[in-house]
């Protein structure tokens, strides 16, 4: 678990995840700054809550000195990791993690994570409903609209957190470790962000990078690229799951 009290932490990007991360970090005692390329006018709805919480706001661009002065940098999913200020901060040896990675280090209980080029939201919602109906304490969040960091204070050792996770969230993970990981399908998408199909697929596969032999990976045997991930998994519970219908929901 990260030690945050007194640490200087920069949150880059003030989307829904960035705002939630900044407020969480401040509650945990960090000295928080947020930086966003959008103008102060464009951030008019977010800034008052940040100022009230004692968070410094840098709007209208990223200042290199702002990045250099931090102990930790937390990146929102919508911010590319090749942003010049992040690249330079990495070269300086600063720790850079995403909102999903940070939240996962504090989230209690068990995690079931779902990714894929299509159908993530539908599947995540359905799995959350199934677990909840079975009597398990269940939280649902991630790319589905509720930042993972917002689930932390509700989680317990018995909770199952069902998370929709995108390639944008997964590409910056290091210790993220779902006991059950699901890859629905992998088809070309977001190549402008990832540079190539293999980079995109590699980001998706980070969902099981920290799994062990005790964990489970569920794959779609009808999708060749997703099924191929089985050869790179150490999870004894690796399963090929045949889907009988196509979901037209399209997400990252």
Q: What is the pLDDT of residues 108-131, one digit of tens each?
A: 999 999 999 989 999 999 999 999
Q: What is the pLDDT of residues 217-228, one digit of tens each?
A: 999 988 888 888
Average pLDDT estimate for 74-84: 93
Instruction: Tokens for 85, please give them.
Output: 């200020």
Instruction: Tell me what pLDDT residue 234 has.
Output: 85
Within its chain, how far is the Cα of 172 from the centroid?
8
Residue bearing tokens 């539908």:
122
What is the per-residue burial (b if ≥16 Cβ within 10 Å, else e) of 102-135?
bbbebbebbbbbbbbbbbbbbbbeebbeebeeee
**Strands 110-115 vs 95-98: parallel, antiparallel or unpaired:** unpaired
- What percent of the chain shows pLDDT beyond 70? 92
| Amino acid 158: pLDDT | 97
Separation of alpha carbons 222 and 54, rounded Å: 51
- Residue 244: predicted pLDDT: 42
User: Reduced to 3 states, what is the DSSP secondary structure of residue 160?
Assistant: strand
C-alpha Rg value of the chain to the nearest Å: 18
**Over residues 34-42, mean pLDDT:** 96
pLDDT value of residue 243: 53
Q: Place 249 in a pLDDT band, splitting at 50, 70 and 90.
A: very low
- Whether this prediction's pTM lies above 0.95 is answered by no
Active site residues per annotation: 120, 143, 190
Q: Whole-angstrom Cα distance, residue 80 to residue 17? A: 14
Domains and CATH numbers, the chain: 8-101 (3.40.50.720), 107-240 (3.40.1190.10)
Q: What mean pLDDT value characterizes the chain?
A: 91
The pLDDT of 51-56, averaged and rounded, is: 97
Residue 209 tokens read as 């990078």
């Amino acid at each position: 678990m990260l030690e945050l009290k007194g640490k200087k932490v920069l949150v880059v990007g003030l989307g829904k995840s960035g705002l939630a991360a900044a407020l969480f970090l401040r509650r945990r005692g960090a000295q928080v700054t947020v930086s966003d390329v959008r103008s102060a006018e464009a951030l008019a709805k977010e800034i008052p809550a940040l100022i009230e919480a004692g968070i410094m706001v840098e709007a209208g661009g990223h200042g290199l000195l702002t990045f250099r002065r931090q102990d930790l940098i937390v990146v929102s999913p919508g911010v590319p990791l090749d942003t010049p200020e992040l690249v330079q901060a990495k070269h300086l040896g600063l720790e850079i993690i995403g909102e999903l990675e940070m939240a996962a280090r504090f989230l209690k209980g068990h995690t079931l994570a779902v990714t894929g080029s299509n159908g993530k939201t539908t599947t995540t919602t359905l799995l959350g409903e199934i677990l909840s109906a079975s009597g398990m304490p269940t939280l649902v969040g991630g790319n589905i609209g509720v930042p993972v960091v917002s689930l932390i204070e509700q989680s317990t050792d018995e909770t199952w957190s069902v998370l929709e996770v995108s390639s944008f969230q997964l590409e910056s993970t290091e210790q993220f470790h779902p006991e059950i990981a699901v890859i629905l399908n992998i088809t070309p998408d977001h190549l402008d962000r990832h540079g190539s199909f293999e980079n995109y697929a590699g980001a998706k596969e980070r969902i099981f990078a920290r799994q062990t032999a005790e964990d489970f990976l569920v794959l779609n045997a009808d999708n060749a690229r997703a099924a191929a991930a089985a050869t790179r998994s150490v999870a004894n519970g690796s399963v090929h799951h045949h889907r009988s219908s196509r979901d037209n929901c399209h997400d990252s």
